[in-house]
Amino acid sequence: MIEVVNLSKKFKRTTAVDQVNFYIEPGEIVGLLGPNGAGKSTTIAMLSTLISPSEGDIFLDQKSIIKNPSELRNILGVVPQEIALYEELTAKENLQFFGSIQKMPKTLLSKRIETVLEQIGLQDEPKKLVKHYSGGMKRRLNIGVALLHEPKYLIMDEPTVGIDPQSRNHILETVKALNEQSNMAILYTSHYMEEVEFLCNRIYIMDKGRIIASGRKEEIKSVLSSENTVHVKLEKHSKGFINDLITQPTLSNVIAKEAEVTFSVAKGSNFLPMLLSLCEKNNIILTSFQVEEPTLEDVFLHLTGRALRN
């Protein structure tokens, strides 16, 4: 088990990570969800022993790794947020290079390269140079590099940013397969709550350097068990209508994006007559209307007053 205890990182003026505690048990997929600047990458940089904490410690099976990082490095694979590959090499050559700097024995390395290429679905592109890869293929190879030494724990820092939906699905399926078939424990970092909801059982929500909520999906959402979220689409944007919604005492978290509005309302409350009368008053036509159970996005909004993505 990997445990992070009171971990903090201060840069000159910024406290990027502030007294963070979490753990990853063997074989589980844990989500670390947070908006830009929450401190996710800084936490990962400490976990992967690239930077040292200002305070706190990291334990591997109850042994502190601050003084002895090599044991953790052997069992940890880290997929960095920034793609780190050689553009002028093929996938295989990249894997060969990264394996050899880790001093992996030759025969083991060639075996692992074949397995990894299959795991990331790049076995059919043997001659293509990375510079001719799509963004999604590069992301997949970036994951492959971290898998070479068969880590027990895989730390992934926003592995699906900036790629097409098909590659994204491929990566999500790869993560599931690594966990189910190889029993790899995974810390999955993202600001996409749908990904975290899909993959993870236990979730930490991070904001401004702190963990602001943690637990199983259902536990986190139970914070909002008394609320529903309502999504309304309008024929056109109306400032007056939005202002009227904001001043309604029975509604909260009113967020408007052009002709779409979202708000929270107590479960079972009969808000429809009020909504319709505000539409009539502001001369607005509702084009659609949906009541939903809360999502992790709603929990984040509830806890911070801000949307996870702006």
Ligand X SMILES: Nc1ncnc2c1ncn2[C@@H]1O[C@H](COP(=O)(O)OP(=O)(O)OP(=O)(O)O)[C@@H](O)[C@H]1O
Q: How far is the CB of 209 from Mg ion (least distance, A)?
A: 12
| Nearer Cβ to ligand X (40/138) | 40
- DSSP helix/strand/coil, 8: strand
> Rule CB under 6 A: is residue 139 a binding residue for ligand X?
no
| Nearer Cβ to ligand X (6/287) | 6
CA distance 261 to 254: 7
What is the DSSP pairing of strand 29-33 with strand 227-234? unpaired
Q: Is the Cβ–Cβ distance between 183 and 151 less than 8 Å?
A: no
> Rule CB under 6 A: is residue 53 a binding residue for ligand X?
no
Among positions 143-202, residues that touch ligand X (CB under 6 A) are: 191
Interacting residue with ligand X among 3, 27, 41, 97 (CB under 6 A)? 41
CA angle at 229 for the pair 223 and 231, rounded to the nearest 5°: 160
Partner from Mg ion, ligand X, none binding residue 39, C-beta < 5-8 Å depending on class: ligand X
Q: How far is the CB of 149 from ligand X (least distance, A)?
A: 24
Interacting residue with ligand X among 2, 29, 38, 58 (CB under 6 A)? 38
Interacting residue with ligand X among 19, 81, 182, 248 (CB under 6 A)? 81
Structure tokens at 73: 């490095």
Partner from Mg ion, ligand X, none binding residue 38, C-beta < 5-8 Å depending on class: ligand X
> Rule CB under 6 A: is residue 142 a binding residue for ligand X?
no
Structure tokens at 190: 């993202």
Q: How far is the CB of 42 from ligand X (least distance, A)?
A: 3
Which residue is closest to Mg ion by CB? Answer: 41
Candidates 143, 140, 218; CA nearest to 186 is 143
Interacting residue with ligand X among 20, 24, 30, 34 (CB under 6 A)? 34
Q: How far is the CB of 216 from Mg ion (least distance, A)?
A: 24
Which of 33-41, 57-65, 122-130, 269-277 is the region at the interface with ligand X (rule: CB under 6 A)? 33-41
| Nearer Cβ to Mg ion (236/309) | 309
Interacting residue with ligand X among 1, 6, 11, 201 (CB under 6 A)? 11
| Nearer Cβ to ligand X (80/99) | 80
Interacting residue with ligand X among 1, 25, 26, 37 (CB under 6 A)? 37
Binding residues (CB under 5 A) for Mg ion: these are 40-41, 81
Number of residues assigned to the chain: 310
Structure tokens at 289: 């209307």
Q: How far is the CB of 20 from ligand X (least distance, A)?
A: 11
Query: Interface with ligand X by CB under 6 A: which residues?
Result: 11, 14, 16, 34, 36-42, 81, 191
